[in-house]
Amino acid sequence: MSTYTPSADDHSRLLRDYAAATEQFRATNEVLTALGRSTSDPDTVLDTVVESARRLCRGNTAAIYLIEGGTFRLASSVGLSQEYVRTVTEFPMEVNRGTVIGRAALERRVQKVSDVLTDTEFVRSDVQQTGGIRSSMSAPMLLDGEVVGGLSVFRTEVDPFDDREEALLEAFAAQAAVVVRNVHLVRALEERGAELARRVEQMQALSDVGQMVGSSLVLDEVLSNIIKNAVRFSGCDGGSVMEYVEEERCFTVRSAYASSPTGATAQHPDRAR
């Protein structure tokens, strides 16, 4: 009966695989921990994602871009020069096949280019030169079936990314999309909460006015309260309650309220015909 004895190469490969798996687990744990606080600090989570993607994919840089108005806006990055950041900020990359990340968004899957200098579709020479890009890889960020951005890594030397690194980038892009989803949900909840607060305030004001109408015998006091709340909730500078005097066939200002000096100036006429 023969027994298998691992060679020195096999032993080295196992050690490398173990080290890679350990590093991947640690990076994933860092991202998941950061995701737990993404609702309060989404920028920190995206920073964690790009740093982990750069490290595990062995890239010189990593960046997350969000799609806004048909172009990519840089949201988080590591390893990029100030000149590169200025270039993509002043002249954003478009969602087209002229860049690797543009192709990832259009194809909705990871795109890899061994050397952008030999890629016939790559048109952003300014981005290549300021970043020193040679080997590049990008993954789309999908949110409810929609591409909302992309995660990109590149190397400044020709050193193509392998399948393991492709799978890692795809996973990190999915995690970045979760952060974007959480931000959208939080903003929607905040807007909904603000709207509900306004409605509650309006209902309370109407209730106060109703109580005053039912309890007060001082008409001017009631009218003053009514116009004050009407101006406040309509967002106007001022307003007035006009009384029609039939004998004179004209309107007179019975009660007025101004929320600003401009509104106060506009309220000074006593009569309107």
The reply to whether 180 and 207 lie within a common domain is: no
- Averaged pLDDT for residues 165-185: 80
The reply to whether 15 and 136 lie within a common domain is: yes
The reply to whether 203 and 176 lie within a common domain is: no
Q: State residue 145's pLDDT score.
A: 85
The reply to whether 46 and 95 lie within a common domain is: yes
Domain tally for the chain? Answer: 2
Edge-to-edge strand list for the sheet holding 135-143: 71-78, 61-68, 146-155, 135-143, 111-113
- Asked whether the predicted pLDDT for residue 96 surpasses 80, the reply is yes
Q: State residue 8's pLDDT score.
A: 57
Range of the domain at 64: 8-185
The reply to whether 159 and 202 lie within a common domain is: no
The reply to whether 19 and 82 lie within a common domain is: yes
Instruction: Identify which has the larger pLDDT, 155 or 190.
Output: 155
The reply to whether 206 and 160 lie within a common domain is: no
Q: How do residues 193-240 score in pLDDT, each as one tens digit?
A: 555 556 666 666 666 666 666 666 577 777 777 777 777 777 678 888
End-to-end Cα separation, the chain, in angstroms: 115
Q: State residue 271's pLDDT score.
A: 43
CA-atom Rg of the chain in angstroms:
31
The reply to whether 177 and 206 lie within a common domain is: no
Quote the tokens at residue 67.
């799609």
Q: Predicted confidence band at 264 (pLDDT cuts at 50, 70, 90)?
A: very low
Instruction: Identify which has the larger pLDDT, 183 or 102.
Output: 102
The reply to whether 180 and 204 lie within a common domain is: no
**Residue 192 resides in a domain:** no
The reply to whether 222 and 115 lie within a common domain is: no
- Asked whether the predicted pLDDT for residue 103 surpasses 90, the reply is yes
**Residue 2 resides in a domain:** no
Domain harbouring 212, CATH code: 3.30.450.40
The reply to whether 258 and 137 lie within a common domain is: no
- Averaged pLDDT for residues 179-186: 61
DSSP 147-212: EEEEEEEEESSS----HHHHHHHHHHHHHHHHHHHHHHHHHHHHHHHHHHHHHHHHHHHHHHHHHH
**Residue 191 resides in a domain:** no
